A and B are shown apart, each in its own frame.
Chain A
Amino acid sequence: MSAPVLEPLPVDAEVDPAARKRPTAREVLSDIASGGPLRILLAVFLSLVVGSLLIVFTNEDVLDTLGYFGARPTDFFGAAGKAIGEAYAALFRGAVFNYRADSFEAAIRPLTESLRFAGPLIAAGLGIALSFRVGMFNIGGQGQMLMGAAFAGFAAANLSLPWGLHLLVAMAFGFIGAGLWAGIVGLLKAFTGAHEVIVTIMLNYIAVSLITYLMRTPVLHDMDSGNNPTARAPQPTAQLPTILGQDFSLHLGFLLCIAAVFVFWWLMERSKLGFRLRMVGLNPDAARTAGVNVKAVFIVAMVLSGLFVGLAGINQALGRTGTFGPSIDAGIGFDAITVALLGGSRAFGVLFAGLLFGAMKAAGPSMQVQDVAPEVLVVMQGLIVLFVAAPPLVRSIFRFLPEPRVVVRTSAPKRSLRATAAEAPATQAPVAQVDTAQGDGAGDSTATAKKESPL
């Protein structure tokens, strides 16, 4: 008892900026994970600019012109412009609409491919986003996807059920596998305090090894099909059916992932459970004081996160006709972190980010044809995240952006106890806008901000 009082006291309207508490990792994470739309658009734009430089300086024609840059600089700029134009045209052809194609089907196939790639990115992105919103960092997407895919694949290959029911059962298996795998993390965090980052990383390794092993045993593997670790192909009754006919490989999984966006939105923005999830994410102390069982929320949140990620795994396992190996996750478990960050951990932000990344994945081959290294796209994806995560950097590049705005207003006094002469001038100017980053530190007790800044 009587330990010296060093905790900051909960004080008052006047905040000394120098004394202001350093943001915690949680606050930084929540800031990064809630980037506004403008910030994201600018980040995408910046990454396209930097991507252009990479395209220019990896293009052989352009490099040739550099040899005689002093003599004829126009050649360099011409070649550079051509390289950039062709590369982004290829990006467009590969991701959206191939205007060089012979038939309409072929022309829009890139778009459907983008959507097909986007589906699992969206689903897994939602899962990671959910963990962000609850103040956790689930980087176990890879392991959860693998478990989801393996469970779904097992049911899809080994059970014999009627069309429709088989698919539902296989999906249920997938959800159970991924949910349980993520639930382990929640349990360990709640009851031992183990940090979810460490646990999810370790569970990724375990999942990869476990599934690889099972893909060598009769549990998942068709022992007649060679030594490579593979899981049996899903039976046709358990495959996700294509939705645009046989010409396109886009399947039902994409629609399920879109549905997941709406489920996520309802869960986080409308439901009672989501309210408690967000409460724990933003202030676990206040949540506990408000009677929320924070430990239970950690477990529930990890399971829910795992379910969304599991949908991505199911999508991968059942959205095919053939066998699959332990690399079925295709890096989506990690790309999902990027998608969640880029999407600001919001339902429709994740949808947008997933579509963008899906398009970039789909465009890879087409750009490669155009002599652009596929790594350029990966670099651009990384740059987007970098720019999103570094708002001061983006703000300093785009100086015209407004600083966070503060709206000052004094409500009309209702009760006599504070209707003082001194306050009268303030009440006559009901809404005043103040360009300041100082927020409530500005000194007036009625300083309030209407909205967060766009960045």
Chain B
Amino acid sequence: MKLELRGITKRFGSLVANDGISITVEPGEIHALLGENGAGKSTLMNVLFGLYHADEGEILLDDQPVQFSGPGQAMTAGIGMVHQHFMLIPVFTVAENVMLGHEPSRFGIIDLDAARARVREISAKFGFDIDPDAKVEDLPVGAQQRVEIVKALSREAKVLVLDEPTAVLTPQETDELMETMRQLSDAGTSIVFITHKLREVKAVADTITVIRLGKVVGAADPSASTEELATMMVGREVELTVEKAAARLGDPALVVKDVNLFDHLGRKLLDEISFEIRAGEILVVAGVQGNGQTELTEAIMGLREKVHGSIKLSGMELSHAAVRHTLDAGVGYVPEDRKKDGLVAEFTVSENLMLDRSVSGPFTKGLNIDFAYRDQFAADAIDEFDIRTPDGETLVGRLSGGNQQKVVLARELSRDLKLLIASQPTRGVDVGSIEFIHERIVAVRDSGVPVLIISTELDEVLALADRIAVMYRGRIIDIVPAGTPREKLGQLMAGVAA
């Protein structure tokens, strides 16, 4: 099916989220929409799915103008969507998830056999190895994504929109997804591939449309170089690596030894974790999300109960310390999930900047908060970290992801640091801010502080690391030097030890 968007304009008041965007996706084509976060890609897809009504422009399917008032109509017309966050019910089986919303029935009773048959049929066609009776929560992430694809295909999707599909995948799973995308396109399915990852675009796309600030800035050929694409995307030359001098290593500062952690059912979350970080060194823990990295940072912070083993910061034992004491010991913590753990969305920027310092210190005055100091601090932090906000009294929940992250960083980096732990420091952050954040992290390292970074982005891992620890299923399966090739890291992340 041919999908054409013609001159789509979507305004929110005076903000133009989509400005006359025209895209043609030919039948069987893999069409990459490349753009930074906030470029307007999602708005465009929301227009396509009828969630927003375009102010101008039209949508054509096989040259027929169409208009959808909701995702249901779009699906009926043959447009399927695989969201970045899967829309699956974990405790349902694959077949149940696939049929959800259009359950086949016989005599008013759900016909699960028909759903199973449908899953098998589609799986066989594309060589997916999916058991219709497997529970979704038991499947690896890559397989869950295939379930989403099967779900879309089971509704006869002729155009498949994949929204940042590789965010949660290992490099190997990413390769498999690309293989799947090619198969689908060979079978005539058109694919809109939304992403901001240049390498993937180059690897799989037939056509690339680059969007910046709501406008199409141009089409590119997959043979264009990464630098060319990046330049189009952000409108300037980008350094994909951060400038950093050789680390000046001090003594081991953070020493983690034989740390084990179990969940409430007694399953092992962390398995004999041992490593050390020297003063002035960045250790990046790489790995696919969900392999124990989050638990590791939480164990160090004191957010987990029943941590076995020893966690020493400059000789001070932290494994049984409360969060308050860990923070007081000079540990700065940028949590992985800033919205959940790092910020209070309904608090203002200035309130969030003092979030973990409300007991004592300069933000307090007796029983009260020192509002004058807080406001001055906020003004300075907004300046220094270029937090794009009207003022310190704006609610943090109203800021963009990148600016929210800067609020967290401004708070944590302004402490008197003895250790910095940053989990996914640049997730959801635009390219310009990534560079800034990386520079700040390196600056912390250069001031002689040990830094622990958790990252699932290989680019980030390679840009920041002095050493790389790779986690897999709760274990550190290897610690390798900074220059380790991507392929080797990919293998380690998939659990293939050297």
Please judge, given known A-B contacts A283-B343, A435-B13, whether A411 and B386 are in contact too, CB under 8 Å.
Answer: yes
Contact B428 A1 (CB under 8 A): no
**Contact with A2, one of B341, B347, B474 (Cβ below 8 angstroms):** B474
Q: Which of B101-109, B133-141, B244-252 sits within the interface?
A: B133-141
A449 to B399, CA, bound (A): 8
Q: Is the CB of B15 within 8 A of A289?
A: no
CA distance A76 to B45 in the complex (A): 57
**B498 vs chain A, min Cβ distance (A):** 20
Residue of B213, B291, B344, B432 contacting most chain A CB atoms (<10 Å): B344
| Contact A448-B267, Cβ < 8 Å, known A4-B138, A290-B356, A406-B13 | no
Known A4-B139, A290-B356; contact A433-B168, beta-carbon cutoff 8 A: no
Residue from B212, B267, B355, B371 having most chain A Cβ neighbours under 10 A: B355
Q: How large is the interface on A (under 10, 10 to 19, 20 to 34, 35 or more residues)?
A: 35 or more
Q: Does A73 lie at the interface of the complex (its beta carbon under 8 Å from any beta carbon of B)? A: no
Contacts A289-B303, A440-B399 given; does A10 touch B369 at CB 8 Å: no
Q: Which partner residue on chain A sits nearest B389 by CB separation?
A: A448
Give A274-309 as 1s and 0s: 1 = Cβ < 8 Å from B's Cβ atoms. 011011001101111111110000000000000000
Contacts of B137 in A (CB 8 A): 3-4, 6
Given the known inter-chain contacts A270-B368, A279-B347, A443-B42, please indicate yes or no for A5 contacting B141, CB distance below 8 A.
Answer: yes
Report the tally of A-B residue pairs with Cβ distances under 8 A: 278
Give the Cβ gap from B162 to chain A, nearest Cβ, in Å: 13
Among B42, B358, B371, B473, contact of A15 (Cβ-Cβ < 8 Å): B42
| Cα distance, A16 to B137, chains bound together (Å) | 23
The closest CB in chain A to the CB of B401 belongs to A12
Task: Say how far A322's CB is from chain B's closest CB, in angstroms.
Answer: 40
> CB-CB < 8 A to B324: which residues of A?
291-293
B306 to chain A minimum Cβ distance, whole angstroms, is 15
Question: What's the nearest-Cβ distance from chain A to residue B380, in Å?
Answer: 12
Any A CB within 8 A of the CB of B167: yes
With contacts A1-B473, A413-B386 taken as known, whether A283 is within 8 angstroms of B345 at the C-beta atoms is yes
In the assembled complex, B214 has its CB within 8 A of some CB on chain A: yes
**Nearest B residue (CB) for A452:** B395
A9-B427 in contact (CB<8A):
yes
Are A291 and B368 in contact (CB-based, < 8 A)?
A: no
In whole Å, how far is A260's beta carbon from the nearest beta carbon of chain B? 17
Whether, in the assembled complex, B195 has its beta carbon less than 8 Å from a beta carbon of chain A, the answer is no
Q: Which of B14-42 contact A (CB under 8 A)?
A: 14-15, 17-18, 37-42
CB contacts (< 8 Å) of A423 on chain B: these are: 213
Whether A13 and B402, one on each chain, are in contact in the complex, defined by CB atoms closer than 8 angstroms, is: yes
Given contacts A272-B364, A445-B430, whether A439 and B398 have CB atoms under 8 Å apart is yes
Name the segment of A39-47, A186-194, A311-319, A414-422 touching the other chain. Answer: A414-422
A102–B52 CA distance with the chains assembled, in angstroms:
66
Q: Which of B86, B213, B290, B388 is packed against the most chain A CB atoms within 10 Å?
A: B388
Which residue of chain B has its CB nearest to the CB of A438? B12
Shortest B330–chain A CB gap in Å is 13
CA–CA, A276 to B368, complex, Å?
12
A13 and B428 within 8 A (CB): yes
Given contacts A11-B428, A449-B394, contact A16 B46 (CB under 8 A): yes
Residue of A nearest to B383 (CB): A414
Is B234 among interface residues, defined by CB-CB distance under 8 A?
yes
Interface residues as binary, A1-31 with B (CB distance below 8 Å gives 1, 0 otherwise): 1111111111111111111000000000010
Residues of A within 8 A of B86 (CB): 6
For B, the interface residue count at a CB cutoff of 8 angstroms equals: 109
- Secondary structure of the B contact surface, majority rule: loop
Q: Which residue of B lies closest to A34 (CB)?
A: B346
CB of A444 within 8 A of CB of B15, answer yes
Determine if A446 is an interface residue (Cβ-Cβ < 8 Å).
Answer: yes
Decide: A12 and B346 in contact? CB cutoff 8 A.
no
A422 touching B83 in the complex, CB below 8 Å, given contacts A2-B474, A289-B335: no
Interface-central residue, A5, A406, A436, by most chain B CB under 10 Å: A5
User: How many angstroms between the C-alpha atoms of A279 and B140 in the bound complex?
Assistant: 35
Are B394 and A443 touching (Cβ within 8 A)? no
Q: How far is the CB of B210 from chain A (nearest CB, A)?
A: 12
* B386–A291 touching, CB < 8 Å: no
Residues A291 and B236 in contact, CB atoms below 8 Å apart: no
- One of B355, B395, B401 near A13 (C-beta < 8 A): B401
Chain A residues, Cβ within 8 Å of B340: 10, 283, 285-286
Please state if B46 and A422 are interface contacts (CB–CB under 8 Å): no
Q: Using A279-B355, A432-B15, A442-B15 as known contacts, say yes or no to A14 and B43 having CB atoms under 8 A apart.
A: yes
A445 and B386 form a contact (CB under 8 A) = no
Question: Is A233 among interface residues, defined by CB-CB distance under 8 A?
Answer: no
Evaluate contact between B17 and A10: CB separation under 8 angstroms.
no
Whether B42 pairs with A14 at a CB distance below 8 angstroms is yes
A196 CB to closest chain B CB (Å) equals 21
Contact assessment for B323 and A288 in the assembled complex, using a CB-CB cutoff below 8 Å? yes
- B144 CB-CB contact with A under 8 Å: yes
Report whether B435 and A408 are in contact in the complex, using a CB–CB cutoff of 8 Å: no
A291 interface neighbour in B38, B88, B167, B327, Cβ under 8 Å: B327
A17 with B51, Cβ < 8 A, contacts A282-B345, A443-B38 known: yes
B342 CB within 8 Å of chain A: yes
List of A residues within 8 angstroms of B267 by Cβ: 1
Please tell me if the beta carbons of A443 and B168 are within 8 angstroms of each other in the complex: no
Q: Does A407 contact B (CB under 8 A)?
A: yes
- Is A158 part of the contact surface with B, judged by Cβ < 8 Å? no
Cβ–Cβ contact B163 & A434, under 8 A? no
Cβ contact of A272, chosen from B17, B327, B358, cutoff 8 A: B358
> A118 to B359, alpha carbons, bound, how many Å?
36
Q: Does B123 contact A (CB under 8 A)?
A: no
Contact B12 A434 (CB under 8 A): yes
Q: Are A443 and B40 in contact (CB under 8 A)?
A: yes
Within 8 Å by CB of A271, from B303, B368, B435, lies B368
Task: Pick the contact of A283: B303, B344, B400, B436 (CB < 8 A).
Answer: B344
Known: A279-B358, A283-B344, A442-B43. 19 other contacts (CB 8 A): A1-B292, A4-B90, A5-B141, A10-B336, A10-B401, A271-B367, A278-B347, A286-B355, A290-B327, A292-B358, A406-B12, A411-B386, A415-B436, A417-B435, A418-B433, A422-B236, A432-B15, A443-B214, A446-B403
Q: Which residues of B contact A (CB under 8 A)?
A: 12-15, 17-18, 37-43, 45-46, 49, 51, 71, 83-88, 90, 136-141, 144, 163-164, 167-168, 212-214, 234-236, 267-269, 271, 289-292, 301, 303, 322-324, 326-328, 333, 335-347, 351, 354-356, 358-359, 364, 367-369, 371, 382-383, 386-390, 394-395, 397-403, 424, 427-428, 430, 432-433, 435-436, 473-474
The contact sample of 22 A-B pairs, CB cut-off 8 A, is A1-B291, A4-B141, A6-B86, A12-B428, A18-B71, A19-B84, A19-B87, A275-B354, A282-B345, A286-B344, A289-B335, A290-B356, A291-B324, A293-B324, A411-B386, A411-B387, A429-B14, A442-B15, A443-B38, A444-B214, A445-B402, A452-B395
Q: Which 3 A-B pairs have the closest CB atoms?
A: A434-B13, A12-B428, A443-B17
- Taking Cβ atoms with an 8 Å cutoff, the residues of A that contact B are 1-19, 30, 270-273, 275-276, 278-279, 282-283, 285-293, 406-411, 413-415, 417-418, 420-423, 426, 429, 431-436, 438-450, 452
